Structure 1
Amino acid sequence: MSYLISVAEPASLKIARRLKTVVERLFKQSVVVTQHEIGDLHLVQKETTAVIYKDRGIQVVASEKELLVVAAHALVREFLSELPLGETQVTYQQEQRILMIDMARKYFSKDILLRFIDSMSLAQFNYLQLHFSENEGFRIESEVAPEIVSEEHLTKDEIREIILYAQHAGIEIIPDFDSPGHLKQILRTHPEWQLQKKLADGTLEKDPAALNICDPAAVAFILSIYQEYAELFTDSTYFHIGGDEFVDFDQIEAYPELRAYAKATYGKAAEGIDTFVAYVNQLIAKVNEWGFVPRIWNDGFFRLNRGEQVPLAKNVEITYWTKWNQYMAPVTTFLEKEYTVINFNDNYFYYVLGENAGYSYPTYEKIMTQWTPEMYPQQQIVPQLTSQLPGVALAIWCDRPEAQETTIVWENMSYLLFAAMQKLTTPFADKQQIEKIMTTYFQ
């Protein structure tokens, strides 16, 4: 007999078709989708707390936005014989569950990215952030500046396929193009736009990765690239614009162009940090104008040893990844200033290839036994997960791209996704059970 997936509303048929694939792969049964009778899995769209009812079959009641992930939750637990009879409420302590992939330092093919999306959907993650520009590579076709693109890259048509596949899996893409730092790949072909640093002997040296944000032509060029990808990712809500590690913020005085520009533009009290904040504000305004919510990394803003004359714009969200430097603002600073903050906890969620920069690979066990959703980088604890703290994110950084093949990265990260998801809802599986899911689904 076939497994029957039924829907109460025609609007759920698209979700049912996605779940058909999940059932076929996990339970190895043929599946029929219908609207006309109650099936083995019955989907009901309702603006209410998500609930799973299990009797002779399974009924999932959830909002349109949550129906797919809650149904995936039900099927995964049913596959493991971990779904209890009766009513099970499903709530996620944070609505946004994000995976970021550094596809710039290391090439990730379309096929492996689709496999990541499958794992994310099973693990009930709902955002995929694609970091496609870095010092070592630029990995999406560009018509504005083809000279900056790495030899191995994805075409725009491949990106469109990835976006569509992700949408069917209930996952939204977040484009991620970092500036004004991390631009060595781009500035290699445009060295005239590299920022100059003053050395100890008084001579000037170009910084190969930092954009001269005092040069209107350089800024206009970078803005044209942002606009190109704003047009590609029109279905995305968020656009990550970077802003981290532009220069050593503790040594920003070593960049005389930034200081001179600040004083000429923003007054005698202004310093180089104000030139940086003003550039980021310009990006925020443009990205917002194009219809996105912009996001930035935390490390360059409201530093304890700086007094900015130019305030950071309010219509931006903060992805908080670290407080390794004593002068970096704590999470509470951004919360007090009423910014939305996403938890990119580098102590638990940074999967850095080659274990570079002192990082060690995160593990399923460490997340399950040591991390809690209230825990932010460097053991900062927030007392309550309010609407200002809507998400948590795992990140793959390819510092040493040759350290692991992409298939190994995918396999290892899949376990971490399941660990983080369970800590946001209800723990129900050990690593061996997750291995059973992975082996069955992807065999």
Structure 2
Amino acid sequence: MNPSGDISASASPSPTPSPSRSYPLSEAPRTIPAVREHTAERGPGWRPRDGYRVVVGDGELADEGRLIAGELGLAYAGERGDRRAGDVRLTLGGGAGAGPESYTMTVRGGGVEISGPSDAGVFYGTRTLKQEVRDGGTAPEGVVRDEPAKAQRGLMLDIARKHFTASWIEDRVRELGDLKFNQLGLHFSDDQGFRIESDSHPEVVSEQRLSKAEVRRIVDLAAERHITVVPEIDSPGHLGAVIAAHPELQLRDAAGQAARGAVDISRADAATIVDELLDEYAGLFPGGQWHLGGDEYRALTVADPEASYPQLAAAARKRFGSGATVADLATGWLNDRAETVRGHGRTPRAWNDGFYRDASVRAAEDIQVAYWTGKEIGARQPAEYLGAGRKVVNYNDEFLYYVLGEPQTFVYPTGQRIYEQWTPRVLRGTEAVAERYDGQILGGSFAVWCDLAGAQTQDQVAAGIRLPLRATVQKLWDPDAPELSWAQFRRLADRLG
């Protein structure tokens, strides 16, 4: 990345020929995701050359300017009002009604101007330019107007069951940024491990873990690329690593049998330790989203939870009244954890099977539904959540779940299947929900789960998710049928790297 400096005395490059009718009409750029609109013009287009510079119209765009200058081998000249041949100019501003992540890129007269209503939009414009000129390519003359269909475009990594190195995660952040993803989920606590250093409860942390310094570097790198890191401490199930250090918290049935990974939510000290961890990590992850988990609580996978877990039934009645059930108590737990993260300015989400149909206590309205499956006990059709007005994020396990070792009925998802069959409205199975619900579907997330952690190495995971990630973001950016065939899209992905 080139440092900022005063290059005003450097010689201007030879002027690029002005557009004329001797040039054919330009063709739309080929990028991933594809740009949504391109107005063709006649002209030579633009490609980087020695002596060209990147300038910004606002100091807020300095990070974006320095990044693209370094990537393209150009000089970063900072805020400048003068214009030179070959300039790449980044500016803030946008037309009425343009979304916050929209941008306009104009290639004309030998220069490039990228503008957007926010620095995120301008950043995405620089990603388009970077792809266009890769390996000696030319940014085509004309005007690109582009914006995503969905506001949440994510990759979730299960770093609890398998330790991934910080450098590997940083590589994924760079990859996500270039593809215009804007979220990275980190599921860092589960039965098999707790993978981030803790000051409040060091006893729960696994030997293989990320240090807080490493996480801060990941978070900072992500922020530079307009990616929010979404942490998840799943509860009240999937807490085996915490229970290993605090066995007194483990849920047991009437016969004394332990429920794997589940804490006893009738105990106040179970809530205390989870809240202390949530409070601690709120300072490490500054983004606006938080995943609370809430799925697969084993007390609610038996035929008669009240008979099997009388202590939970008693706690439910004490808190919510004589007719209350274990599902009511579990919903109360979810709402309490939502209140904890809400106190840090976070918007909570939870897995869809953590919302219970028959509970009289209702999950707080602002908890987003992370819809992943229709296979779990109690899982309901997406239309039930959408019809109740809830906002949903698509994690459809039929298309978007990359489960190491392919246990149960899982198979590794293919980019082709996502590209040809999935859209954000396909929340469960292969059927799309009604179009009237589209506005409640906030976006989607591809997910890497490490159930059989040794089944693949880090490098194999990166290779395995490469094409599925590109297909996923294409459909989140524009859910309409793509212009390119799968074979064409794959060749483009191979060319762009």
Alignment of 1:43-122 (within 5 A): 43-48=90-95, 49=98, 50-55=103-108, 56-64=110-118, 65-79=120-134, 84-122=140-178
The answer on 1:154 being equivalent to 2:210 is: yes
CA distance in 2, matches of 1:118, 1:395: 17
Question: Which deviations, in whole Å up to 9, do the C-alpha atoms of 1:374-393 show, x marking residues without a partner?
Answer: 21121342314644222211
State the Cα distance separating 1:325 from its structure 2 match.
4.0
Q: Structure 1 length as normaliser, TM-score?
A: 0.90
Q: Secondary structure at the match of 2:233?
A: strand
Larger Rg: 2
Alignment of 1:109-258 (within 5 A): 109-198=165-254, 203-233=255-285, 235-247=286-298, 249-251=300-302, 252-253=305-306, 254-258=308-312
State the Cα distance separating 1:126 from its structure 2 match.
0.8
Residue in 2 aligned with 1:395?
447
1:184–1:208: 8 Å Cα contact kept in structure 2? yes
Give the direction of change, closer, same or farther, for the CA distance of 1:179–1:369 in structure 2 (3 Å limit): same
CA distance in 1, matches of 2:415, 2:133: 21
1:324–1:378: 8 Å Cα contact kept in structure 2? no
Residue in 2 aligned with 1:349?
400
State the Cα distance separating 1:298 from its structure 2 match.
0.8
Q: Secondary structure at the match of 1:356?
A: coil
Mean Cα deviation higher: 64-73 or 111-120: 64-73
Q: Secondary structure at the match of 1:378?
A: coil
2:324–2:360: 8 Å Cα contact kept in structure 1? yes
Alignment of 1:280-299 (within 5 A): 280-299=334-353
Normalized per residue, the structure richer in helix is: 1
The answer on 1:434 being equivalent to 2:493 is: yes
Residue in 2 aligned with 1:423?
475
Work out the number of aligned pairs and report it.
Answer: 425
Q: Which stretches in structure 1 are left out of the alignment for 5+ residues?
A: 24-28, 439-443
CA distance in 1, matches of 2:52, 2:401: 39
CA distance in 2, matches of 1:379, 1:2: 52
State the Cα distance separating 1:368 from its structure 2 match.
1.2
CA distance in 1, matches of 2:438, 2:61: 30
State the Cα distance separating 1:287 from its structure 2 match.
1.0
CA distance in 2, matches of 1:401, 1:207: 22
AA aligned to 2:282 is A
Q: Secondary structure at the match of 1:348?
A: coil
CA distance in 2, matches of 1:51, 1:384: 29
CA distance in 2, matches of 1:302, 1:33: 57
State the Cα distance separating 1:248 from its structure 2 match.
5.9
AA aligned to 2:181 is F
CA distance in 2, matches of 1:169, 1:35: 20
1:119–1:414: 8 Å Cα contact kept in structure 2? no
Question: Which deviations, in whole Å up to 9, do the C-alpha atoms of 1:300-344 show, x marking residues without a partner?
Answer: 3133xxx21211112321111111247422222222222221111
AA aligned to 1:435 is D
Q: Secondary structure at the match of 2:67?
A: helix
1:102–1:131: 8 Å Cα contact kept in structure 2? yes
State the Cα distance separating 1:265 from its structure 2 match.
2.3
Question: Which deviations, in whole Å up to 9, do the C-alpha atoms of 1:147-186 show, x marking residues without a partner?
Answer: 1111011111111111111111221111111110001111
Mean Cα deviation higher: 92-101 or 405-414: 405-414
Q: Which stretches in structure 2 are left out of the alignment for 5+ residues?
A: 1-49
2:401–2:412: 8 Å Cα contact kept in structure 1? yes
2:368–2:391: 8 Å Cα contact kept in structure 1? yes
AA aligned to 1:76 is Q
State the Cα distance separating 1:240 from its structure 2 match.
0.9
Mean Cα deviation higher: 321-330 or 9-18: 321-330
AA aligned to 2:71 is V
Question: Which deviations, in whole Å up to 9, do the C-alpha atoms of 1:114-162 show, x marking residues without a partner?
Answer: 1000100111101111111011000000111111111011111111111
Identity of counterpart residues, as a percentage? 30
2:424–2:443: 8 Å Cα contact kept in structure 1? no
Residue in 2 aligned with 1:319?
370
CA distance in 1, matches of 2:140, 2:194: 48
AA aligned to 1:107 is H
Q: CA RMSD in A?
A: 2.1
Q: Secondary structure at the match of 2:170?
A: helix
Q: Structure 2 length as normaliser, TM-score?
A: 0.81
Residue in 1 aligned with 2:54?
5
CA distance in 2, matches of 1:62, 1:102: 34
CA distance in 1, matches of 2:207, 2:245: 14
State the Cα distance separating 1:112 from its structure 2 match.
0.5
CA distance in 1, matches of 2:52, 2:405: 44
Residue in 1 aligned with 2:64?
15
Give the direction of change, closer, same or farther, for the CA distance of 1:180–1:82 in structure 2 (3 Å limit): farther
Give the direction of change, closer, same or farther, for the CA distance of 1:170–1:334 in structure 2 (3 Å limit): same
Among candidates 386, 407, 416, match of residue 365 of structure 1: 416
CA distance in 1, matches of 2:355, 2:422: 26
The answer on 1:275 being equivalent to 2:329 is: yes
1:103–1:131: 8 Å Cα contact kept in structure 2? yes
The answer on 1:379 being equivalent to 2:430 is: yes
Relative CO higher for 1 or 2, CA cutoff 8 Å, sep ≥ 6? 1
State the Cα distance separating 1:214 from its structure 2 match.
0.1
Q: Secondary structure at the match of 2:253?
A: strand
Q: Secondary structure at the match of 1:174?
A: strand
1:18–1:168: 8 Å Cα contact kept in structure 2? no
